[in-house]
């Protein structure tokens, strides 16, 4: 059902009480600012219906992002989002410090010049404006996501109708715990809030030696696909320290508590069961 124009405009300008109550460490952006940034992206692309938009939407983030996150990401210039994703995934071997660090990866790709990684950064729209950049960072990996209803309203206003379809992904929680401002793999992100593992009584049969069976497997702080990244692992031997548990968030996956050496210290984290092979 379409939202009346007057009601929608009021909804856009009403500030969020939650946003006002948070500290200014990472400013939050309201629906109106996100909508404006999306419209500016469309103007910069110069195409009201970019080719392969639906392909990007259906494959973006393996279902871990909300619809709003996916649509914002897929309206970026393809070279630009390829740089961002490649940097975060550790594909730029001459810049290992970018792997898993969203803020550094974004800054690196904004400042890249000429041709690098097979990407031409001299093409139009190789940079976001300062406002767009902050909206991008806050929508994709800093602030808690808007409610599903608010996301729908933003996308309907942007497309002036129903948004292009995506796969059926789990809806984000209405009040998720915000991640830290920079999802880095620095020492400050190793083992925070892991008391449930540290203080647990050992389970019979654990720990057991298992194998990470996928490249770029993301070990997270909590058993929740929205949780910040602790480390990104290639196939390697790890210790599973207890039985699989249901997600503490909105996804429907099962999670193993695991531990493994990383950068000279023992890291405790969570991996989805689908990424682990314990039949060794």
Average pLDDT over residues 161-188: 51
**What share of the chain has pLDDT > 90, as a percent?**
5
N- to C-terminal Cα separation, the chain: 53
Higher-confidence position of 180 and 186: 180
Q: Token digits for 71?
A: 């649509």
Q: In this predicted structure, what is the pLDDT of residue 262?
A: 81
Q: In this predicted structure, what is the pLDDT of residue 200?
A: 41
Q: In this predicted structure, what is the pLDDT of residue 143?
A: 64
Q: Give Cβ neighbours of residue 266 (< 8 Å, ≥ 6 apart).
A: 259, 260
Highest mean pLDDT among 34-38, 57-61, 124-128, 178-182: 34-38
- The residue written with tokens 């892991």 in the block is 194
Domain-wise residue ranges, the chain: 5-76+128-159, 187-277
CA distance 132 to 227: 24
CA atoms within 13 A on the CB side of 67: 22
Q: Token digits for 62?
A: 């393996």
- Give CA 18 to chain center in angstroms: 21
> Is residue 183 pLDDT above 50, yes or no?
no
Query: Would the pTM of this model clear 0.75, i.e. be above it?
Result: no
> Is residue 61 pLDDT above 80, yes or no?
no
Higher-confidence position of 192 and 48: 48
Q: Token digits for 217?
A: 């497997």
Average pLDDT over residues 233-244: 89
Q: In this predicted structure, what is the pLDDT of residue 203?
A: 56
CA distance 243 to 197: 12
Higher-confidence position of 45 and 172: 45
CA distance 38 to 75: 8
Q: In this predicted structure, what is the pLDDT of residue 171?
A: 45
Identify the helix (H) or strand (E) that includes residue 119. Answer: strand 119-120
Question: Within a 10 A sphere around the Cβ of 144, how many other Cβ atoms?
Answer: 19
Decide: 234 and 217 in contact? Cβ < 8 Å: yes
Average pLDDT over residues 145-162: 85
Give the tens place of pLDDT for each residue, 82-99: 888 888 888 888 889 999
Q: In this predicted structure, what is the pLDDT of residue 173?
A: 47
> Is residue 269 pLDDT above 90, yes or no?
yes
Q: How confident is the model at residue 270 (pLDDT cuts 50, 70, 90)?
A: very high
Decide: 129 and 44 in contact? Cβ < 8 Å: no
Q: In this predicted structure, what is the pLDDT of residue 41?
A: 85
Using CA of residue 166, residue 90, residue 135, residue 28, what is the dihedral sign?
Answer: positive
Q: How confident is the model at residue 122 (pLDDT cuts 50, 70, 90)?
A: confident
Q: In this predicted structure, what is the pLDDT of residue 86?
A: 87
Q: For the CA atoms of 192, 170, 254, 63, what is the dihedral angle to 10 degrees?
A: -80
- The residue written with tokens 């480390």 in the block is 231
Q: In this predicted structure, what is the pLDDT of residue 145?
A: 67
């Amino acid at each position: 059902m379409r939202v009346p124009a007057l009601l929608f405009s009021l909804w856009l300008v009403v500030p969020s009480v939650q946003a006002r109550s948070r500290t200014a460490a990472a400013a939050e952006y309201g629906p109106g600012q996100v909508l404006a940034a999306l419209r500016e992206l469309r103007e910069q692309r110069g195409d009201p219906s970019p080719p392969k938009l639906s392909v990007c939407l259906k494959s973006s983030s393996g279902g871990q992002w909300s619809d709003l996150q996916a649509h914002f990401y897929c309206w970026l210039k393809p070279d630009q989002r390829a740089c961002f994703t490649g940097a975060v995934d550790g594909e730029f071997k001459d810049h290992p410090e970018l792997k898993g660090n969203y803020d550094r990866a974004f800054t690196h790709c904004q400042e890249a010049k000429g041709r690098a990684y097979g990407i031409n950064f001299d093409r139009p729209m190789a940079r976001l404006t300062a406002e767009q950049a902050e909206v991008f960072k806050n929508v994709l990996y800093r602030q808690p996501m808007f409610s599903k209803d608010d996301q729908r309203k933003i996308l309907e206003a942007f497309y002036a109708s129903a948004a292009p379809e995506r796969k059926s992904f789990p809806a984000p929680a209405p009040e998720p715990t915000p991640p830290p401002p920079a999802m880095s793999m620095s020492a400050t992100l190793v083992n925070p809030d892991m008391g449930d593992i540290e203080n647990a009584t050992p389970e019979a049969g654990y720990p057991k030696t298992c194998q990470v069976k996928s490249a770029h497997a993301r070990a997270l702080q909590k058993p929740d696909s929205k949780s910040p990244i602790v480390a990104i692992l290639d196939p390697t031997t790890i210790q599973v320290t207890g039985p699989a548990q249901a997600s503490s968030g909105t996804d429907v996956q099962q999670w193993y508590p695991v531990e493994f050496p990383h950068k000279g210290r023992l890291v405790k984290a969570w991996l989805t069961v689908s990424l682990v092979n314990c039949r060794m």
